[in-house]
Structure 1
């Protein structure tokens, strides 16, 4: 009897891209588990994957910090380095998109059939599974909350004076850069409107987002919590799973909330929603492009940041309240 292959998945390098790649990774893992009997499925990459992996709906997959000498690796990053790391680790078969001078390192160098300039990134990841003839029945992102995590999130909220039945998460940052960020002053107006409607605000983000979080919350009455920079990713995931809605920029947390079926409202401007909009059953995108949209730049170079200021705080407040009905 042939030994079932050890499968290695190397996801993309950004949280949002990992979530967009979830349907593809699940399809590959399901094929190896159900058709080939694989019980050894390893996910390897950045350290925060150990927190995110339990949410990715890939049963049996385990995180490892070091690349193992697996039988087959699917390499989602397009870099030469990622393929070379697998080769150096002794992976027997390496599969991924061709490019970046790595064709000779790949045992299956797949052509790019989906244009990232015109089509959604999720479809590009799915085409890796498609070119391997694997079934991709679930083409939308479908994340799941591990047992106990939602209750842990509710407990964290209560410890900071919040009523979990009334909590809205607001994530005002974006790791890619300021061009994606909606103005803090207008977020503050939305926050005020939400509080006046009986909701409570919880700010999530990196430590760099704490100052803008303080600005958003400074005039609010009642319970609120600026958790930016004070939680681990694992705790942030628990809080998102327990909240009633997510209001955020185009970011990794946006993709997570939408994939968990949390109602999600997002202003888009510098990025193109047709390429990176979140996948989920309760998503509202507000997009009022300027002449320069989508610029795809890290920082806005146009006076007034028009792609964001074209979106009024009332537009976003109305979208939030309609999602909360």
Structure 2
């Protein structure tokens, strides 16, 4: 209920399937909350629930009981009929696929909003045409769906702001044996492919310099990044902790919130770090910050804008990945200094 006793609008958001996009969706949730009293539920993959739990705007996350790419018409029908009892007033569908619009239809939600996507006529009745030039950034497209069609975006639009779990932070310090030594987080993983991954030798060179400056390095990522973390940490003992695969996504949020700064590829955890407002150095290769920049003030982006960039390929089609190799550890030290995380700059030799 709002201050007048009227029932708050109930909104179901069909969330995206990538960590970074889910973080950016918080800008939509903030936009909806600023417009009128509402309760926001998010239908999303199970992995995203810890992210949603750290967004005060979200009432609850609802698990989509299907794997990525799975059509599962029967399961979507069953879920839609279950959700019909909630009495949602509106659904906002962030993915562009046809199947993502089915649950709101089956739930008989009266207003179903989304971009045209895969020819979703009839599935969505508040169907928007996407002008990619007017809305070049993913976050702008999300926020636009929270406004009346054609309405200008709020200026400035609200940025994501995750709230860490203090109790979980205390648990992590105890269980992982973390000291009070200031930490800088590395996120070296590249789920999309090596054309988005800063060279591991560069990460290792940077780690050696930061350890000399009395920092501890926390390498964060999934179990798939375990070997990557081992390459960076090799020979540096307890000063560099490879936490890849030892933590869950919610733990990574809380660890980043405790970090002095972060250095990262263009990845989902980059957007998590931005949403925690820690000093951040973001490294771009095959992708571009023009489309998915970190949404924070304390950010330095390293992007060379070579003639061949951005290619958006998983592997470098020219075989050299100059767009990443030519971003030097020295330039990242300079960026951290610019952010106030380091006191002075020296020249580094590659490991």
Would you call these one fold, judging by a TM-score over 0.5? yes
Q: Match of 2:316, SS?
A: coil
Match of 2:142 in 1: 125
* Native 8 Å contact 1:114 1:123 kept in 2: no
Q: Match of 2:136, SS?
A: coil
Match of 2:24 in 1: 20
Deviations 1:129-150 (A, max 9, x none): 233559836514231324xx24
Deviation at 1:11, TM superposition (A): 2.0
Correspondence 1:141-160 to 2 at 5 A: 141-146=159-164, 149-150=165-166, 152-153=168-169, 155-160=171-176
Match of 1:55 in 2: 54
- Take 1:150 and 1:264, find their aligned partners in 2: how far apart are those partners? 21
Structure 1: gaps spanning 5 or more residues: none
Correspondence 1:175-190 to 2 at 5 A: 175-190=191-206
1:285 pairs with 2:276 = no
Match of 1:204 in 2: 220
* Native 8 Å contact 2:143 2:153 kept in 1: no
| Aligned residue pair count | 316
Deviations 1:44-84 (A, max 9, x none): 111122100132341x5211125522231011111111112
Match of 2:35 in 1: 31
Match of 2:72 in 1: none
- Take 2:116 and 2:148, find their aligned partners in 1: how far apart are those partners? 13
Match of 1:163 in 2: 179
- Take 1:121 and 1:241, find their aligned partners in 2: how far apart are those partners? 24
Q: Match of 2:247, SS?
A: coil
Which has the larger displacement, 263-272 or 157-166?
A: 157-166
Cα distance change on mapping 1:137 and 1:290 into 2, 3 Å: closer
Q: TM-score normalized by structure 1?
A: 0.89
Structure 2: gaps spanning 5 or more residues: 64-78, 343-351
Q: Match of 2:335, SS?
A: helix
Deviation at 1:42, TM superposition (A): 1.2
Match of 2:105 in 1: 87
* Native 8 Å contact 1:20 1:255 kept in 2: yes
Correspondence 1:259-298 to 2 at 5 A: 259-298=275-314
Correspondence 1:71-86 to 2 at 5 A: 71-86=89-104
Cα distance change on mapping 1:164 and 1:281 into 2, 3 Å: farther
Q: Give RMSD over aligned pairs.
A: 2.3
Q: TM-score normalized by structure 2?
A: 0.83
Deviations 1:195-237 (A, max 9, x none): 1111001111011111111110112255331110111111111
Deviation at 1:23, TM superposition (A): 1.2
* Native 8 Å contact 2:144 2:153 kept in 1: no
Runs of 4+ in 1 over 4 A off after TM superposition: 1-4, 132-135
